[in-house]
């Protein structure tokens, strides 16, 4: 079983719609979680950190469910510029401190005019 | 705001040659990470450094080595290159996770092509 699993999509949604992604992670000891977005052939860009209490940043809301080991991202009032691949990310728990990130395969989102 | 700088941006090498990639972290970031992203793949963690010491090690081949210098920049050295090493190589930087949530910021990447 892959450590971080996401539905690859693509998700085709009309502009202005609300879209939600989930991902699941296998390591119950994981402590830190993120959503990154990646545009074609570009670097991953940090979208949101995901905190236990959930957090919101403008049109974006992230939630963490530790009991079920899943993370969600909700995008409201989607814009054409939201079209990208959304990567669910879990920090490795190596105990060394500067831990690397484990990425899901990504969910491809296409916003249609 | 200043971002992570990587050089070169593109590199073409022959099989069995060596390559050195460089990474300059965001100012005041003291921790660097290296990732490899093959075509159609998600980024795979290779290695990380803090205070010039290796901190975490992922799927870095034995043919690769890396180090961090006193000015916090890092270099990834790749020897005996193989066709399968063709990929995007990203460097990321952060404040040390003891003082942050381990939010990592990625550079634009070096695209390595091995012929």
CB contact under 8 A, B55 and A96: yes
Q: Which residue numbers of B have CB closer than 8 Å to A's CBs?
A: 31, 33, 35, 42-50, 55-58, 88, 90, 92, 94, 96-98, 101-109
Q: What are A16-39's pLDDT values in tens digits?
A: 999 999 999 998 888 889 999 999
Q: What are B66-98's pLDDT values in tens digits?
A: 999 999 999 999 999 999 999 999 999 998 876
Mean pLDDT of A88-103: 84
Q: State residue B99's pLDDT score.
A: 61
Q: State residue A94's pLDDT score.
A: 66
Whose CA is closest to B9, among B108, B105, B101? B108
pLDDT at A15 over 70: yes
Q: State residue A30's pLDDT score.
A: 86
Q: Which of A18-22, A26-30, B12-16, B19-23 has the weakest average pLDDT?
A: A26-30
- The first and second tokens of residue B54, run together, are 């290796």
Distance between A44 CA and the closest CA of chain B, angstroms: 6
pLDDT at B52 over 80: yes
Q: State residue A92's pLDDT score.
A: 83
Q: How far is CA B43 from CA B34, B39, B115, in A?
A: 10, 10, 22
Q: Give me the residue from A46, A98, A105 closest to B55, CB to CB.
A: A98
Q: What are B31-48's pLDDT values in tens digits?
A: 999 999 999 999 999 999
Torsional sign, CA B26, B87, B111, B77? positive
3-state secondary structure of A2: coil
Mean pLDDT of B88-115: 90
**CA–CA distance, B103 with B92 (Å, rounded to integer):** 10
- The first and second tokens of residue B112, run together, are 């390595």
Q: Which residues of A touch B108 (CB under 8 A)?
A: 42-43
Q: State residue A96's pLDDT score.
A: 64
**CA–CA distance, A30 with A33 (Å, rounded to integer):** 8
Q: Which residues of B touch A46 (CB under 8 A)?
A: 103-105
| Residue A51 pLDDT grade (very low, low, confident, very high; cuts 50, 70, 90) | confident
Q: Give me the residue from A44, A96, A98 closest to B43, CB to CB.
A: A44
Mean pLDDT of A58-78: 95
| Residue A1 pLDDT grade (very low, low, confident, very high; cuts 50, 70, 90) | low
Biggest alpha carbon–alpha carbon distance for chain B? 43
**CA–CA distance, B39 with B43 (Å, rounded to integer):** 10
CB contact under 8 A, A101 and B45: yes
pLDDT at A43 over 80: yes
- Mean pLDDT across chain A: 92
CB contact under 8 A, B48 and A99: yes
Whose CA is closest to A107, among A14, A15, A24? A24
Mean pLDDT of A89-95: 81
């Amino acid at each position: 079983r892959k450590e971080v699993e996401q539905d690859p999509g693509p998700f085709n949604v009309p502009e202005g719609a609300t879209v939600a992604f989930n991902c699941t992670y296998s390591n119950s000891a994981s402590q830190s979680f993120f959503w990154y977005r990646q545009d074609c052939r570009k670097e991953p860009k940090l979208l949101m950190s995901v905190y236990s209490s959930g957090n919101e940043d403008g049109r974006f809301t992230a939630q963490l469910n530790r009991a079920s080991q899943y993370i969600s991202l909700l995008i409201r009032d989607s814009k054409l510029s939201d079209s990208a691949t959304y990567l669910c990310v879990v920090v490795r728990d190596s105990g060394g401190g500067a831990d690397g990130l484990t990425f899901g395969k990504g969910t491809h989102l296409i916003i249609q005019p | 705001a200043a971002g992570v700088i990587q050089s070169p941006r593109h590199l073409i090498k022959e099989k069995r040659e060596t390559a050195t990639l460089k990474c300059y972290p965001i100012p005041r970031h003291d921790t660097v990470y290296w990732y490899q992203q093959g075509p159609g793949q998600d980024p795979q963690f290779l290695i990380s450094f803090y205070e010039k010491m290796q901190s975490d090690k992922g799927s870095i081949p034995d043919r690769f080595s890396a180090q961090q210098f006193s000015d916090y920049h890092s270099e990834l050295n790749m020897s005996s290159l193989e066709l399968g090493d063709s990929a995007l190589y990203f460097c990321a930087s952060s404040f040390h996770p003891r003082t942050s949530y381990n939010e990592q910021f990625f550079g634009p990447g070096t695209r390595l092509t091995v012929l």
